[in-house]
Amino acid sequence: MNNKMKNNCSATKKALLVVHQQRSDPGAIGQKLKDRGYQLDIRRPVLGEKLPNSMESHDLAIIFGGPMSINDINQKFIKEEINWIEIALKSKKPFLGICLGAQMLAKNLGGTVKNSNENTYEIGFFDIIPTQYGNKMFEKQKTFFQWHNEGFNVPQDCLILAEGKKFHQQAFQYKNAYGLQFHPEVNIKLHLLWLYRVWLSAPHKLKNKGAQNIVRQLFLRVKHNNKIKMWLDDFLDNYILKEEV
């Protein structure tokens, strides 16, 4: 554990983590937050669990991904989470949206979320292209794990940090909030678990246009896993948690 992590462990902080399935796991992000002295408060609005009325008892908030579409207007919890993000933004405490969570952040800010023009997926490891605002953030790693078929377009008052070939916007910043279309929280264990569950319940998803086959995914997992872990450490310490260091 480096000195920065030791200093952060000197006082207990609380992270609000919003997930979208009973068995959802915050993966590497959850573990790295615990390593930095955070208590994890995991909520599942999709199962009826309530989000707090303020951020007074929490030091940061993260909304993770999920299999549902943000554009499913029949899902009451989706609208509730999008509206709740306003509480997180007004608190000026760190906020991170990942995949579905990033799309919710974009929607809250007045952006749009839709399928790609080619009606394709990104399932597997894909390169992102840093913009001038994201060059430093993505200097050492530009390949990340993805699993989605919708992408966001954010308003002009957001900084686009990275772009992609299929889905034009991949990462953005709005004040203390960040949105990532990719999944840095998915480590080897979680990746294998996702593949196993999809293989059992919906194997056709791995044959959708834009999906890498399992062998390719595992090869790229081995190739990029350690670099993504190091990128995530840097991202948490120097961007998400920077105000608290």
C-alpha torsion angle, residues 82, 85, 86, 88 (rounded to 10): 170
Residue 147 in contact with residue 65, Cβ under 8 Å? yes
Residue 51 in contact with residue 80, Cβ under 8 Å? yes
> How big is the CA angle at 130 (ends 128 and 132), to the nearest 5 degrees?
165
Selected catalytic residue, list 81, 122, 150, 185: 185
Selected catalytic residue, list 20, 58, 148, 183: 183
What SS3 class is residue 110?
coil
- Concerning whether 9 is annotated as a catalytic residue, the answer is no
- Concerning whether 148 is annotated as a catalytic residue, the answer is no
Rounded distance between C-alpha atoms, residue 57 and residue 53, angstroms: 10
Helix axes 100-108, 76-91, angle to 10 degrees: 70
- Concerning whether 158 is annotated as a catalytic residue, the answer is no
Smallest Cα–Cα separation from 154: which of 141, 171, 132, 140? 171
* Cβ neighbours for 41, distance < 8 A, ≥ 6 positions apart: 14, 15, 16, 17, 58
DSSP class of residue 236 equals I
Selected catalytic residue, list 99, 122, 150, 158: 99
Residues labelled as active-site residues = 99, 183, 185
